[in-house]
Amino acid sequence: MPLSPLPHVRGLLLAAGSGRRMGRPKALLRPAEGGRTLAERAVAVLLEGGCDGVTVVVGAASDEVTAAVRASFPEEDVVDVVRCADWSEGMGASLRAGLTAMRPHAQVQAVLVSLVDLPDLPAGAVHRVGRSGVGASSVEVSGVGVSGVAVGAGCLSRAAYGGVPGHPTLIGRDHWAGVVAGARGDRGARDYLAVHDHVVVECGDLATGRDVDSPAGARRAGLDASG
């Protein structure tokens, strides 16, 4: 059965890393038997999970990753690409670049953040986390002479796998500025989530949630790690 749309929710795929331990960018890994790159697969999963569209953040091997994404998703209004100049800093830089690029799009009320190196992430997990934000109230802003002003979607959720936090993470527009301010190194939104109430969405019945971080891990996941 097709999954229902997630209106005003856009996928944000972080695919900028160089894959230092892998010896090549993980975004460009393919199944051993051939087929789509991890970047292409990850975009497809976000779209199949109900996202209105996807923004892909690239950095290392940006031309090659962009070309792979465009080969499967040529429509720029559905899938766009953002280049992160300081990608080598870590995931935090990619998250900042993606959220900053999203701000002018007033119709986007929340993003579903995913990583490119999650080969068993299914569309069902994307949809489950996205649905957890339905009906989430807006954050109330007070101070500086303003009180009780609704500034946007207040949803904040993240997937867990057997109780272990993972991705995707649903971040409402109200939280973007705070996440951008705190996203440093490889921590992404972790510090922000640690001090803000959020919904934990168990997805361990759908996937392992494990990333691919080494050639041996890639081979276990059925990927070609020969490079």
pLDDT tens sequence across 206-218: 999 999 989 999 9
When pLDDT is cut at 50, 70 and 90, the band that residue 135 belongs to is low
In a domain, 226, yes or no: no
In a domain, 137, yes or no: yes
Q: Cα 185 to chain center, whole Å?
A: 16
Report the domain count for the chain. 1
- Residues listed for the chain: 227
**What share of the chain in percent tops pLDDT 90?**
76
In a domain, 21, yes or no: yes
In a domain, 225, yes or no: no
β-strand partners of 56: 13, 81
Cα–Cα nearest to 24, from 221, 218, 220, 222: 218
Rounded Cα distance between 127 and 110, Å, is 13
Please list, residue by residue across 91-120, b when 16 or more beta carbons sit within 10 angstroms of its beta carbon and e when fewer do. Answer: bbbbbbbbbebbeebeebbbbbbbbbbbbe
- CATH code where residue 84 lies: 3.90.550.10
Please give the sequence-ordered ranges of beta strands (E in DSSP) within 68-133, or none if there are none. 79-83, 110-115
- The bridge status of strand 156-161 relative to strand 164-172 is antiparallel
In a domain, 17, yes or no: yes
Q: Tokens in use for 41?
A: 């697969």
First-to-last CA distance in the chain?
37
In a domain, 1, yes or no: no
In a domain, 182, yes or no: yes
Cα–Cα nearest to 52, from 72, 71, 80, 74: 80
Which range of residues forms the domain containing residue 169? 9-220
pLDDT tens sequence across 52-64: 999 999 999 999 9
pLDDT tens sequence across 152-201: 379 999 999 999 999 999 999 999 999 999 999 888 899 999 999 999 99
pLDDT of res. 136: 63
pLDDT of res. 99: 98
pTM of the shown model = 0.91
Q: Tokens in use for 159?
A: 């997937």
In a domain, 4, yes or no: no
